[in-house]
A and B are shown apart, each in its own frame.
Chain A
Amino acid sequence: MPFGNTHNNFKLNFKADEEYPDLAKHNNHMAKALTKDIYAKLRDKQTPSGYTLDDVIQTGVDNPGHPFIMTVGCVAGDEETYEVFKDLLDPIISDRHGGYKPTDKHKTDLNFENLKGGDDLDPNYVLSSRVRTGRSIKGYTLPPHNSRGERRAVERLSVEALNTLDGEFKGKYYPLNKMTDAEQEQLINDHFLFDKPVSPLLLAAGMARDWPDARGIWHNEAKSFLVWVNEEDHLRVISMEKGGNMKEVFRRFCVGLNRIEETFKKHNHGFMWNEHLGYVLTCPSNLGTGLRGGVHVKLPKLSTHPKFEEIMTRLRVQKRGTGGVDTASVGGVFDISNADRLGSSEVEQVQLVVDGVKLMVEMEKKLEKGEAIDSMIPAQK
């Protein structure tokens, strides 16, 4: 629904050249891929729900480039976006996800028993462990495009599904527009509360419309399993705990996700998934597993080592500050997580984090003792 793309047919009165955006100063995946020819070819198309090419690209037109990272510059308004606008999205997906081809198949593996190790990360260094992903509910349009009625329906269905969880997953839903001051305070202290997005990358895509209508947070009693409803995706699912037991975090993640999915399926609304793109989410960067598994880890010496960046690249991990994306590290503590999303499974990605962090902690210990780490630098994974 983003604005100005009133009725697409009206725009066809102008020539493609007249509507083509000025991307001369832009540096994002969309700007790289959107040639005039592709624009002309796709501009008269719509998904069944009415999402158009200009809707897809608006965020990339409005946000020429990010200072630190190459942003995607486009979003999906529904599941069909990835089909109808393939000619634009396939090259973007390939560029973003290491050459992933339109014919490639993505493997989903949420069997936590396939993870080796992960229960022995040194808690003197690894302060906390977390795995998150997103899920979209089949049959509904996505946050950039949905109407209030649809968003509320997503919330209703999600809360119904979450309320069936029991045992370690038994929990409660806190809608953003009804929470009490006390509840809000507690959620802030737990670092659970999410707020209206401020990033222009998200705002320009129309995801924050009608805030805080139909947005909320669900978490279990133990505060180790958390679901965000209607933020950047229909659902963001998070498993976390203090310390380094990534094995347990991942177990809870997989079990919880599977339980939730069963409930949605019973209502005839499974998750959006296909064998080429894996789990379908709003941002093309989150396709595949949509998984970011990571730790907060103390690496004051390693992080100042000249080969730090290269080590991370070889391990297929990335660093962020402890505030998440686009933040800086505080006190030598970094958020280290998997760089990949599409083309490898959940188990494989979490395995990379587990193995990578274990190695980085050993390197940190070596550097503490004044020893060199050159022999430990791994080959490219």
Chain B
Amino acid sequence: MANNFARLLTSKRNVGILSLVGAGSLTAGFLFNREHVTAGANVRRVYPASAEYPDLRKHNNCMASHLTPAIYAKLVDKATPNGYTLDQAIQTGVDNPGHPFIKTVGMVAGDEESYEVFAELLNPVIKERHNGYDADTMTHPTDLDSRKLTSGQFDERYVLSSRVRTGRSIRGLSLPPACTRAERREVERVVVDALAGLKGDLAGKYYSLVSMTEEEQQQLIDDHFLFDKPVSPLLTCSGMARDWPDARGIWHNNTKTFLIWINEEDHTRVISMEKGGNMKRVFDRFCSGLKEVERLIQEKGWEFMWNERLGYILTCPSNLGTGLRAGVHVKLPRLSKDPRFSKILDNLRLQKRGTGGVDTAAVGSTFDISNLDRLGQSEVQLVQTVVDGVNYLIDCEKKLEKGQDIKIPPPLKK
């Protein structure tokens, strides 16, 4: 049941960006040509751009690297049709000069149109973050045909668990940094409605953060499913945690292998996971689950934010394209102490994290190993990269166990 928020029922291949302004008028435009984006209402400005330009001298993030005074001056008067402005988009990067270990992105999108209206800043940021991907000229491949995955079963003496996650945004509704309470509640309604239609091994239940019982909360904590209000200033400074916990919740299937977060950092985060090394089954479920959810929202007249240049549109530019992080928890006691470990990971286009996720340390010698890339390669390609890479790492570990030497593999194409 559609409300006065426009959504186009289009197939995924047909790019239709819509903007809703004022009294419900519907404008569908093909957004390759930036001039077609309707600017929103006037941004209130009292001072010239030079007086407003942020002090980024001590900053080290992608936004700070690319926000010249000229680009700032050009974009600062613009707003998306929803009224989202440049200053809002960059606030998190202004407030958080740099992360000790990684170069953060330093900006977010408030809505789908942000990627067009602020393209002059976002495209260089995307290029830096995604290995030279040129959003002006390149196209991103989407491929959720999990049958193409080969060798997706790991040695379970090493791989403890397998997981694939991504995000999806509902077209026509603003993203977490910008959404109003009503929009956020609409996202929850649309998604929960769709999820209620899942059947078989995907059938499950929704737990709203506002109304879950103590028992439900404890169970979700024990299952390691519960997410809490973000504490990272990278997230809170962009306004994503406003009105917590209104319209936030967790859905999972009865077998606890398919899980969806609603209205955390993105409209939805979709996670397929299980203990052990059957990445093939995890990815199968990931793809079929995603496709089924998409079908269900389309029945009601909604669709995901997606376009040919940027793939799936998410809040953080680092998650564009596939938004996919496929990974395992794997025991690598010998390899992890080898001085060549980092280089091997680099060449395999993999990254390591601690078992608590981003910004955590490894416990014992169990590592979270996942794909580095998100944009420019398809889901199938990225999961294959993880499968091939992890198999290689396990092979190295086995060689080291036997006292044999290992080789640094040649670097994969980025």
Contacts and interface: CB of A to CB of B under 8 A. Distances in A.
A3 B181 contact: no
A209 B85 CA distance: 15
B177 A4 contact: yes
A2 interface: yes
A1 interface: yes
Contact of A62 (B54, B84, B237, B241): B241
B40 A7 contact: yes
A4 B179 contact: yes
Contact of B46 (A11, A149, A177): A149
Most chain B beta-carbon neighbours within 10 Å: one of A9, A14, A177: A14
Contacts of A329: none
B46 A150 contact: yes
Contact of B242 (A11, A14, A62, A153): A62
Interface string B235-249: 011110111101000
B180 A11 contact: yes
Contacts of A150: 46-47
A50 interface: yes
Interface string B171-183: 0001001111111
A3 B51 contact: no
A177 B246 CA distance: 37
A148 interface: yes
B52 to A, nearest CB: 4
Nearest to A58: B242
Given A9-B41, A203-B236, A209 B83 contact: no
Interface string A304-327: 000000000000000000000000
Interface residues of B, number: 49
Given A14-B182, A150-B47, A6 B82 contact: yes
A268 to B, nearest CB: 16
Interface stretch (B86-94, B150-158, B321-329): B86-94
Given A2-B239, A4-B242, A7-B83, A19 B91 contact: no
B52 A149 contact: yes
A147 B52 contact: yes
A87 interface: no
Nearest to B241: A62
B95 interface: yes
Contact of A14 (B54, B91, B110, B183): B183
Given A3-B178, A3-B238, A153 B47 contact: yes
Contacts of B183: 14
B185 interface: yes
A6 B88 contact: yes
A61 B184 CA distance: 15
B95 A4 contact: no
Contacts of A3: 88, 91, 110, 177-178, 238-239, 242
A213 B182 contact: no
Interface residues of A, number: 39
B87 A1 contact: yes
A209 B95 contact: yes
B52 A19 contact: no
A7 B94 contact: no
Interface string A1-25: 1111111111101110011111000
A50 B44 contact: yes
Contacts of A20: 181
A140 to B, nearest CB: 9
A152 B44 contact: no
A19 B182 contact: yes
B79 interface: yes
Contacts of B244: 62
Most chain B beta-carbon neighbours within 10 Å: one of A5, A13, A18, A49: A13
B383 interface: no
B44 A13 contact: no
B83 A61 contact: no
B20 interface: yes
B22 interface: yes
A22 B210 CA distance: 9
Interface string B3-19: 01100000000000000
Contacts of A13: 4-5, 20, 22, 24
A147 B94 contact: no
B180 A61 contact: no
Contacts of B181: 18-21
Contact of A210 (B41, B95, B243, B246): B95
A4 B52 contact: no
Interface string A324-337: 00000000000000
A21 B180 CA distance: 10
Nearest to B246: A22
B242 A147 contact: no
A19 to B, nearest CB: 5
B55 interface: yes
A147 B41 contact: no
Contacts of B47: 147, 149-150, 153
A5 to B, nearest CB: 8
Nearest to A149: B47
Contact of A21 (B4, B87, B246): B246
Given A62-B241, A149-B51, A177-B55, A7 B91 contact: no
Given A6-B83, A6-B84, A213 B52 contact: no
Given A6-B83, A9-B22, A21-B181, 13 more contacts: A1-B87, A6-B40, A6-B110, A8-B83, A10-B40, A11-B180, A18-B185, A19-B180, A147-B52, A148-B53, A149-B51, A203-B236, A209-B91
9 contacts: A3-B238, A6-B178, A7-B41, A11-B182, A18-B182, A50-B44, A58-B243, A149-B52, A177-B58
* Nearest 6 pairs of A and B residues by beta carbon: A7-B83, A3-B239, A149-B47, A6-B83, A14-B182, A149-B51
